[in-house]
Structures are given as C-alpha cells and as structure tokens.
C-alpha cells in the first residue's frame, strides 16, 4: 500500500549560499489511490462531515505541518 506522505532529496548546488535542506516531504491526497468510488462507503455524520470537509471517511486526510510533527517528537 502506498503512503500519503512522500519524501525526496532535492539537488544541492555547491554554490548555494544557504544551508541545504537535504530531505523534503509532501502529502498526497487519498483520492489518488482509489481508482473509483465503490458503493456503500462509510460516511461521517453530517456535522462531522462539515468539520472534516468530506462526507466519506476514506477521503479524509488531515493536514499536519512538518513543524507540528517536529514538535511532537521534541516534547522532552
């Protein structure tokens, strides 16, 4: 199964004046991995669907900033 969070290693120029970012990451939406919408998908209740931005649970993908993830690991 594919993951929704991908990483890549950008080109680092020897003439770049800034310290390089060696690994960059990005998120892909869940609908890319679903070929078609099957019938009878589980749904959110209406109020929760409005809060999440989608009616179907398989299409929900919460966004987490890379900075938020870094904070979670540095709670010590």
Structural contact between residues 34 and 6, judged by C-beta atoms closer than 8 angstroms: no
pLDDT at 63: 75
Provide the 8-state DSSP code for 18.
Answer: S
Structural contact between residues 33 and 19, judged by C-beta atoms closer than 8 angstroms: no
On the question of pLDDT at 9 being above 60, the answer is yes
pLDDT at 10: 93
Higher per-residue confidence, 21 vs 67 = 21
Q: What is the pLDDT of residues 38-76, one digit of tens each?
A: 888 899 999 999 998 889 888 888 877 767 765 555 544
- Position 11 confidence tier, pLDDT thresholds 50, 70, 90: very high
């Amino acid at each position: 199964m594919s993951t929704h969070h991908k990483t890549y290693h950008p080109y680092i120029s020897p003439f770049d004046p800034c310290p390089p970012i060696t690994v960059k990451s990005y998120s892909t939406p869940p609908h890319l991995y679903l070929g078609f919408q099957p019938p009878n998908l589980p749904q959110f209740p209406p109020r929760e669907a409005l809060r999440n931005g989608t009616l179907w649970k398989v299409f929900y993908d919460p966004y987490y900033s890379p900075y938020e993830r870094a904070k979670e690991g540095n709670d010590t």
